[in-house]
Amino acid sequence: MSLDSHISEYDQRILDITRELCIQLDITSYNPTFISWETLDSRSRRPIEFRYDECLVEKYCLTLSAKMKNVLEPDEWRPIIASSLIFSKKLRNRIYKGFILSLATFVALALVLFFELPMLLPQLYTVSKSRSSQTSALGYFVAEPLALISVFFGPIIASVTYARMLRRIADKKAADLVSTVSFLATLNKVAETERTAGYRENVNVRPSIPLLPNLRTRISLLEKAQ
């Protein structure tokens, strides 16, 4: 991560654009003071390349790809930043609400499993552990792992799926704000830079649960929306 003590004219213009977007989007809780240009993704423990089309909205700064610094004109960052602002500041509460709702749903499902499966599978089954043994309806032993899996993994899978959908919505709203044509022009320029730089998505693996659609998907969805 590189951070200059002096903010360049290029960085300052991007910060000004971010503030303009915040006004347009009625976001009053965000006012970044610097830009962090990253080559590697600091969110990962492994050396993973920071995505060229990524923008992280962090507490005091924007984090952008160092590979795209001075490649995109400041105004070409506008749609990428707009999408991240919409997702991080306008839609993120929906993720929290979705997680709570999905957690409640899967807890209810776990309770149903515990009550219903022993009646559906009433055959007695004995499990021996060390010097003790337990005999209960087969359904009970089936319900226990299923309930644990549903409570622990169900809300995570549901939340990630929902968050990915919201990222697509954020792109659509950003395109409505700055125009689909300019958004596509920016993403196509990013794609061309990736090809020139030799960025290989299958090698430079992104974080384990990426929420941002890959670049090809972002471009395809915007083209369909035209």
pLDDT score of 127:
65
Calpha distance 177→79 (Å, rounded): 8
The arithmetic mean of pLDDT across residues 151-171, rounded, is: 86
Over the stretch 167-196, which tens digit does the pLDDT of each residue have?
999 999 999 999 999 999 999 999 999 988
Cβ contact 120:139 at 8 Å: yes
Over the stretch 199-218, which tens digit does the pLDDT of each residue have?
665 444 444 456 788 899 99
pLDDT score of 8:
94
Q: Where are the beta strands (DSSP E) in the chain?
A: 34-38, 55-57, 61-65, 124-129, 132-137
Please, which pLDDT band fits residue 2 given cuts at 50, 70 and 90? Answer: very low
Over the stretch 95-150, which tens digit does the pLDDT of each residue have?
777 778 878 888 888 888 777 777 777 777 666 666 666 676 666 767 778 888 88
Helix/strand/coil for 226? coil
H/E segment holding residue 148: helix 138-178
Cβ contact 82:26 at 8 Å: no
Paired residues of 127 in beta bridges: 134
**What is the DSSP code string of 165-199?**
HHHHHHHHHHHHHH-HHHHHHHHHHHHHHHHHHT-
pLDDT score of 205:
43
Chain center to CA of 15: 23
Over the stretch 13-27, which tens digit does the pLDDT of each residue have?
999 999 999 999 999
What is the value of pTM for the model shown?
A: 0.78
Calpha distance 209→64 (Å, rounded): 19
Cβ contact 89:104 at 8 Å: no
Type of residue found at 118 = P
Q: 10 Å Cβ neighbour count for 182?
A: 16
Measuring CA to CA, which residue among 160, 120, 154, 155 is closest to residue 140?
Answer: 120
Residue entry with tokens 């125009």: 179
Range with the poorest average pLDDT among 48-57, 74-83, 200-209: 200-209
The arithmetic mean of pLDDT across residues 72-94, rounded, is: 93
Please, which pLDDT band fits residue 82 given cuts at 50, 70 and 90? Answer: very high
